[in-house]
Amino acid sequence: SLYNRQKEKIKIAKVDLSTMKVVKKSGVLGCRCHADSMAYNERNNTIVICRGKGSRKSIAVVDASSLRLKYTKTINISRKMAGGKYYGLSSIAYNAENNFYIVKLKGSSNKIVRLNSSFRPVKRIKIEGNRSYLLAQSLYTTGNFMYDVQSFKGRHKYNLITVRNVFTGKLLGRMVIASGKSGQLYELENVFCDGDQWYISFY
């Protein structure tokens, strides 16, 4: 995702992972945010994006071939399911094997909700091992696992990927990713895999 800070607009660039060359760019999409949390649904060939500032409770669905916006949708989550006041979404991921989405709610890495394939909220996943003092970033999920991405905040100068069971929220492990200690720090944004190859990206 490419973010124009002055105009609060984003575009998507499609990159060939074998060459790291840009093969297609979208037009301006209706998302006033970094759009650093995107999920690819291979069953219907769409990219789902958290819309961010001004539209925090909605998503944008983009055709993955044409990179054109198909529609936007508001995600309504009850206070009971959210475990408190619902401020919106901060990240989204798609589990291809089980055909559902998971979303992280804005304001806390501790609140993760499962949505069905039609974006209807199904269940809040009560997770273990949250480190609330780190900054919430994206989510990734595959098979029985979810990967919760957090970056440095305040005196805590490191990034973290927390691995949990996607159904139960049980803590399975953690990976600390260096950020540096001073100057321009590396802010971990997301993680994903392609076959056996894993990628992480930084701001």
pLDDT of 34: 65
pLDDT of 6: 82
**Which amino acid is residue 184, in one-letter code?**
Q
**Residue whose structure tokens are 């060459």:** 19
The separation between CA 81 and the C-alpha centre of its own chain, rounded to angstroms, equals: 19
Query: CA 60 to CA 130: how far, in whole Å?
Result: 28
Query: CA 134 to CA 114: how far, in whole Å?
Result: 22
Q: What is the pLDDT along the chain (203 residues), one digit of tens a residue?
A: 888 878 778 899 999 999 999 999 999 886 666 666 899 999 999 999 988 776 789 999 999 999 999 999 999 999 999 989 999 999 999 999 999 999 999 876 689 999 999 999 999 999 999 999 999 999 999 999 999 999 999 999 999 999 999 999 999 999 999 999 999 999 999 999 999 999 999 98
CB 36 within 8 Å of CB 189 = yes
DSSP string for residues in 132-186: TTSEEEEEEEETTEEEEEEE-BTTB-EEEEEEEETTT--EEEEEEEE--SSSS--
* Residues in Cβ contact with 92 at an 8 Å cutoff, skipping those fewer than 6 apart: 37, 38, 39, 48, 49, 50, 59, 101, 102, 103, 104, 139
Whole-prediction pTM value? 0.93
